[in-house]
Amino acid sequence: MRRIYESDALSRDDEDPFSPSESDERSRKMIDWEAASHAFLPVWLRDRAVSVHLETDKDEYAPDEAVRWRATFRNRFPFPVRIVTESPELWRWSVDGIARASEVPARVPDRTSVINFSRSERKVVERRWKPQIRVTEREWEPLESGTHTLSVALNVDRPAERNLDSETTFTISP
């Protein structure tokens, strides 16, 4: 029995149509696994793949102290996942139901986008927010004393029903 490197099994013949060419090898290596998983995984399974966790650095803040928070989006599966978002804004946050702590509407394009997660990937977003609500383009009002709810979610339809959101509470001391 001859060894494979002694045979002609690995040689290429441009005349032989059944011999693999270099372009075939490149195309096998360039598979878009995120797109492939998107095509084969149902939406409900993709939603279960991604977890969302939100935390603040403290539970209580002074009225003029910045609130530091961290949102972690994690793919729990050992294969890539792609989730379709409602706009190019991939995730969103709010305070007491006020998106981006602003009553001024955001200018976000009206088209869908996608957020890709490699296998077991974590995406971490850290923000520092001075506890104020934007009421006009140039005017901000301080957040009242008391307990407030900070929430973050992937920018999808019905994120709470799909478990693609998280929230936490914090207190502004008087």
| pLDDT, position 37 | 73
What span, in angstroms and rounded, lies between the C-alpha atoms of 172 and 142? 10
> What is the arithmetic mean of pLDDT over 85-113?
91
Q: How confident is the model at residue 91 (pLDDT cuts 50, 70, 90)?
A: very high
Residue 49, sorted as left (phi over 0), alpha (psi -120 to 50) or beta, turns out to be alpha
Contact 73, 155 (CB under 8 A): no
> Which domains can be identified in the chain, with CATH numbers?
23-172 (2.60.40.10)
Q: Could you count the other beta carbons within 10 Å of the beta carbon of residue 154?
A: 21
pLDDT score of 3: 62
pLDDT of residue 36: 73
| Contacts of the segment 146-151: beta carbons below 8 A, 24+ positions apart | 146/171, 146/172, 147/171, 148/95, 148/96, 148/172, 149/95, 149/96, 149/97, 150/54, 150/56, 150/67, 150/69, 150/93, 150/94, 150/95, 151/54, 151/93, 151/94, 151/95
Q: Is the pLDDT of residue 4 over 70?
A: no
Which tops the pLDDT comparison, 108 or 6?
Answer: 108
Share of the chain above pLDDT 70, in %: 81
Q: Is the pLDDT of residue 19 over 60?
A: no
How far apart are alpha carbons 11 and 122 in whole angstroms? 43
β-bridge pairing 140-142 and 132-134: antiparallel
